Amino acid sequence: MSVQTGPVQLDTADFRQDPEALYARLRRGAPVCEALFPRGFRGWLVTRYDDAKAALTDPRLSKDMSRFAELMTRHHHGSGRFTPFPEDVTAHMLNSDPPDHTRLRRLVNRAFTIRGVAKMAEGIEAITDELLDGLAGRTEVDLLDAFAFPLPITVISDLLGVPHADREDFRAWTSAVISKGAPGAAAAAARAMGEYLGGLIEAKRAHPTDDLLSALVEAHDDGDRLSAGELRSMAFLLLIAGHETTVNLIGNGVLALLRNPDQLAALRADRSLLPGAVEEFLRYEGPVNVATFRYTTEPVELGGVRIPEGEFVMVALASANRDDAHVADAGTLDITRPQTPHLAFGHGIHYCVGAPLARLEATTAIGGLLDRFPDLALAAEPEELLWRPSTLVRGLETLPVRLA
């Protein structure tokens, strides 16, 4: 029996600060329910692990962009008009179904395999060391600003071939693209980023270098594997995904450790626990709260609820990972848990292509940080910490820590 009447509101400070409070209620009483999302559109929210997994592999749930604007307009209930993102940055794999999805993903798959990213290990260690050197002598910092943000930005920019001088712009753009800001602000930032990428692609065409973007330009120029819009969109997706997620795996992971001193002590005592700890951070407080949009191409029954055709279905990954029916004592951080599957990287054909890179970055970053700062501590009361206004990303505004 459902305890929920009317759509749940996700645009509230309570939800932003503590989504799990709502999720726990929904998993019990209304595991598939209607919800109003922050940008003012209505859809269905899926909160249990088994339903989430089923939704992520159901081919009747589409991610094809072609109907997105029409459906957004149809299900938009907020004030003001919905401003869609420009098409030249949205024609990417995360907005497509097979066969386009298969073709697009194949173009970058190899760069991100475990073997592919192993080549980046040295570079990631060097960037981590350099950032940690920069913290020497400081007593209190915002760990996100000083460490967790610059690391993945530098790594993904190096991989793609974005010049160092342009990286600060990216931080403002990508943050605006994923957060709920003023109406149209996200679309404007997406447009600015698209224009910048158009220029960068021309520069790579004129002077190819040894980076992923130059390789993609070549794939476009050599045949029909990638259109000009798809090329720009691919760069856009990789940069956003590479910037906005790993930072929060580092941030949320460090916060989880600082709030659970026994776990921190266990990890300091036995560093072989680190890879398992990173998996537990992903499960316990992963960087993606609700997965990106999907919509029904025909009526679909999910968790006993019949969802009509042409409606948005949003999968709450963070909720699925805290489902007691899937993992015992799900609300407890336990870095020594036997391997537990989680949905932090999604599931099915859109499973995160960057997962091996994200894991490598997070283990290098968190390991390096613990080595350098034996007295690392939180410099704020946990209740004072503010979370970012986005249903997509689960991450803090700032993470004040004492280094010494």
Query: Residues in the site for ligand HEM, rule: CB under 6 A?
Result: 93-94, 105, 156, 237-238, 241-242, 245-246, 249, 286-288, 291-292, 317, 344-346, 350, 352-354, 357-358
Which residue lies nearer to ligand HEM by CB, 176 or 288? 288
CB 38 within 8 A of CB 57: no
Which residue lies nearer to ligand HEM by CB, 201 or 212? 212
Buried b (16+ CB within 10 A) or exposed e, 368-380: bbbebbeebebbe
Q: How far is the CB of 245 from ligand HEM (least distance, A)?
A: 3
Q: How far is the CB of 349 from ligand HEM (least distance, A)?
A: 6
Q: How far is the CB of 357 from ligand HEM (least distance, A)?
A: 5
Which residue lies nearer to ligand HEM by CB, 291 or 330? 291
d(CA 332, CA 15): 20
Q: How far is the CB of 248 from ligand HEM (least distance, A)?
A: 7
Which residue lies nearer to ligand HEM by CB, 30 or 93? 93
Q: How far is the CB of 347 from ligand HEM (least distance, A)?
A: 8
Which residue lies nearer to ligand HEM by CB, 10 or 357? 357
Which residue lies nearer to ligand HEM by CB, 342 or 403? 342
Which residue lies nearer to ligand HEM by CB, 183 or 276? 276
d(CA 211, CA 93): 20
Q: How far is the CB of 308 from ligand HEM (least distance, A)?
A: 21
- Tokens standing for residue 177: 């693209």
The residue of the chain with the least Cβ separation from ligand HEM equals 354
Q: How far is the CB of 239 from ligand HEM (least distance, A)?
A: 8
Which residue lies nearer to ligand HEM by CB, 32 or 403? 32
Q: How far is the CB of 1 from ligand HEM (least distance, A)?
A: 30
